[in-house]
Amino acid sequence: MIDYLIGSGLTIAIFTLCRYLYKNWRYPLINPVLITITIVCILLIVFDVDYRTYKSATAPISFLLEIAVVALAYPLYMQFKDIKEYLMLLLSSSFIGISLSTLCAFFLCWYFNASAELSASLAALSVTTPISLIVTDSLNGLSSVAAIMVILIGVFGSVFGLSILSLCSIHSYQAKGIALGVSCHTIGTAAAIEHHPTTGVFASAAMTISALLTALWVPILYRWLTQVTSITI
């Protein structure tokens, strides 16, 4: 119980402070998730705390985070009537997005002669961590690698995603939401919700659809790519 209070309490306190700083300065690099991860890593190293001990101490946060993903469905429910006409666009964009993500990761690994385990670990990175880990396990990949990459992609998208879209002259709230939801899963969706309600709704919808499509499509696509490249070689 004391471990929970110290580990979870300290983590929540750090994140709350980072949120306060972000609300006051709104500078992309002061992203609360990014800064919290950095501070926690530094503390674990400085005080020589084993990661397994920290993971056990923050189990309540991990449990609540999985439940919190469901809360993203609320803005989707509230504005579903505005999304219905874009349903096919959401489906097609999500399908293309996750397919391109898997294709890019696979062929980069193939070109650089990466191991089969590493290749399988990078096959499903455009979705929230629980789905990514399930798909990775089904492909005999490394769950730890997949988890790290999913978090890094989400943080990168949260910090730089909107700026990159603006530089590409993409100003539509719907397009921004779909891009962040498909590419940057939960963390990107949280950034989209803060940016604009419409962006958040489309990001939430795209993230949900991408999760379903990834679980169904990515294992089939990855195994097909493996077969094709082995025949070619």
pLDDT of amino acid 233: 47
- The tens place of each residue's pLDDT in the chain, 233 residues long, gives 557 778 889 999 999 998 888 888 877 778 888 889 899 999 999 999 888 888 888 888 878 876 766 666 676 677 677 788 888 999 999 999 999 999 999 999 999 999 999 999 999 987 888 788 889 989 999 888 888 899 889 989 988 899 999 999 999 999 999 999 999 988 888 889 888 888 988 998 898 889 889 989 999 999 999 998 876 54
Helix %, strand %, coil % of the chain (to 5): 85, 0, 15
Residues in the chain: 233
Domain count for the chain, please give it. Answer: 2
Residue 1: which domain range?
Answer: 1-67
Q: What is the pLDDT of residue 174?
A: 92
Residue that is last in its domain, among 36, 67, 98: 67
Q: Of 49, 67, 85, which residue is a domain's last?
A: 67
Please tell me whether residues 16 and 89 are part of one structural domain. no
Are 46 and 119 found together in one domain?
no
Same-domain check for residues 147 and 111? yes
The terminus-to-terminus CA distance of the chain in angstroms comes to 56
pLDDT of residue 198: 87
Dihedral sign, Cα of residue 164, residue 168, residue 172, residue 174: negative
Do the beta carbons of residue 103 and residue 118 sit within 8 Å?
Answer: no
Q: What pLDDT, on a 0 to 100 scale, did the predictor assign at position 59? A: 85
For residues 136 and 187, membership in a common domain is answered with: yes
Return d(Cα 65, Cα 142) in angstroms, integer. 22
Regarding whether 190 and 174 lie in a shared domain, the answer is yes
- Give me the pLDDT at residue 139, please: 92
pLDDT at 217: 94
Query: 158-184 in b/e burial notation, b at 16+ Cβ within 10 A?
Result: bbbbbeebeeeeeeebbbbbbbbbbbb
Identify the pLDDT of residue 1: 59
Same domain membership, residue 99 and residue 21: no
For residue 9, give both structure tokens. 């309490």
**Do 184 and 157 meet the contact criterion of CB atoms below 8 Å apart?**
yes
Q: Based on the domain organization, do 225 and 129 belong to the same domain?
A: yes
Burial class (CB in 10 A: 0-12, 13-18, 19+), 132: buried
Question: Does residue 219 share a domain with residue 119?
Answer: yes
